[in-house]
């Protein structure tokens, strides 16, 4: 499935760290990204001190909002996922992150 958002780098070969598009704060390791089939960048873990979790109860649903720990920029939401090592999926808005120093494996 193609990414629903631009300009997220859609490469499973990307290495490095994904950072907040607003302030550059490190958020996710590229190695912890996976294809969830939802069209949004997905990760199974975050970098320590990178992401803040906020409980939301809007629209009749309970969910966890993810924001940048440094600047509070909205990143996406956290969902249960039985297919990851951590049991969760960080569903991220592709416009909210970018690859810090892209390098690609040949």
pLDDT tens track of the chain, all 106 residues? 444 443 444 455 668 899 999 999 999 999 999 988 888 999 999 999 999 999 999 899 899 999 999 999 999 999 999 999 999 999 999 999 999 865 554 3
Q: Which of 33, 40, 4, 2 is nearest to 18 (CA)?
A: 33
C-beta atoms surrounding 85 within 10 Å: 10
- Which pLDDT value is given to residue 9? 44
91 is catalytic: yes
- Which pLDDT value is given to residue 104? 54
Q: Of the residues 20, 38, 71, 91, which is catalytic?
A: 91
d(CA 106, CA 104): 6
C-beta atoms surrounding 8 within 10 Å: 20
- Which pLDDT value is given to residue 103? 53
pTM: 0.81
């Amino acid at each position: 499935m193609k990414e629903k958002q631009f300009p997220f780098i859609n490469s499973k070969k990307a290495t490095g760290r994904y950072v907040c598009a607003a302030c550059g704060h490190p958020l996710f390791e590229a190695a912890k990204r996976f294809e969830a089939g939802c069209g949004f960048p997905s990760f199974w873990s975050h970098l320590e001190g990178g992401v803040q979790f906020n409980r939301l109860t809007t629209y009749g649903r309970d969910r966890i909002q993810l924001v940048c720990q440094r600047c509070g920029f909205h990143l996406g939401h956290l969902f249960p996922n039985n297919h990851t090592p951590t049991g969760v999926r960080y569903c991220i808005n592709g416009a909210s992150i970018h690859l810090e120093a892209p390098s690609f494996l040949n």
